[in-house]
Copies of this chain bind each other. A is one copy, B any other.
């Protein structure tokens, strides 16, 4: 049997996804008891979703692997790395069988591995498109780190590949699974403090000078694609709108943007002011509304996010693991045929806007969008 034979048919997959989507739309019917309640059936053993991590860099080692020790649906089943020794060491420590270690050369054989449902691409940005498309062609669902890719065209190719393979493509927007950021969006969308009047978002970090992020061939950009994308996400998710015009100014470090100061205008007339920077560890979102203001600071770190609102109402949540939450959510989506809330289309929107910001900074002109 060739590996092609083991792939589920396109028709079966489409039916599965459609059924999953349809099931979601049905209202939940409460259980009715007639006389004595029946004993509940024993729970079916939950199917866990196997994740292959592609790239064993800092994020994988420090965040994703520890998170996968705590996930309830996602589980680590494979590793893909160019460093065989590192991969073996990590695999042994995490109970991943040696047969489930791949190099970049043997990666496509993952098609034959039923232990792997999801390939999580944690590579340098310029490699996202290639490995996402190869994994989709191998019949795997893909979760890909942000930024989705380095050009809108690459993002479009990735989305097309997912459609063709009838597999899900999710982007690693961990803050969509983080309660402070979700509460910020809720306060804004429900107009709890009135209509929005203005929004400002700042996202900054100081990068390791030796990492690939400072090499434009690998990163595709500077602070904006790495950390400023969180400011962009904050503004887009809080407003629920897409910018119609952007204006940006940059300071450069070699050929990448060190700092990008940018503003965006939205169809409602709302104005946003944002900063992306590699000059400082800063992260903040400020939302001004007619009846008060609210926001987050820090806004985007792995732990320690804090919320504030001018009416003094509580804005606090227990600490949690954003990476475990996002991987479990994607695992549930894959298992149950539910659409992820962070699809490739969302990644493409950001990459398109970042492309416009870079063009504005380069030309000193406003760029119209949409």
Contact = CB atoms under 8 A, between A and B. Distances in A.
Interface of A: 197-198, 200, 202, 204, 247, 249-251, 258-259, 261, 263, 265, 269-273, 275, 277, 279-282, 286, 288-289, 292-293, 310, 364-366
Contacts of A366: 364
Given A249-B247, A249-B263, A293-B280, A273 B270 contact: no
Given A197-B258, A247-B249, A249-B263, 16 more contacts: A197-B259, A198-B251, A198-B259, A200-B202, A200-B275, A250-B271, A259-B288, A261-B272, A261-B273, A263-B263, A279-B293, A280-B292, A280-B310, A282-B288, A282-B293, A364-B366
A43 to B, nearest CB: 49
Summarize A's interface: helix, strand, loop or mixed.
strand
Nearest to A360: B247
Contacts of A249: 247, 263, 265, 271
Contacts of A247: 247, 249, 364
B269 A198 contact: no
A276 to B, nearest CB: 10
A281 B310 contact: yes
Contacts of A279: 197-198, 288-289, 293
A288 B310 CA distance: 27
A190 to B, nearest CB: 19
Nearest to A248: B263
B277 A288 contact: yes
A308 to B, nearest CB: 11
Nearest to A261: B273
Contact of A259 (B204, B261, B271): B271
A240 B280 CA distance: 21
Contacts of A271: 249-251, 259, 261
Nearest to A204: B288
Contacts of A200: 202, 261, 275
A206 to B, nearest CB: 9
A282 B272 CA distance: 15
A266 to B, nearest CB: 10
A366 to B, nearest CB: 5
Contacts of A292: 280
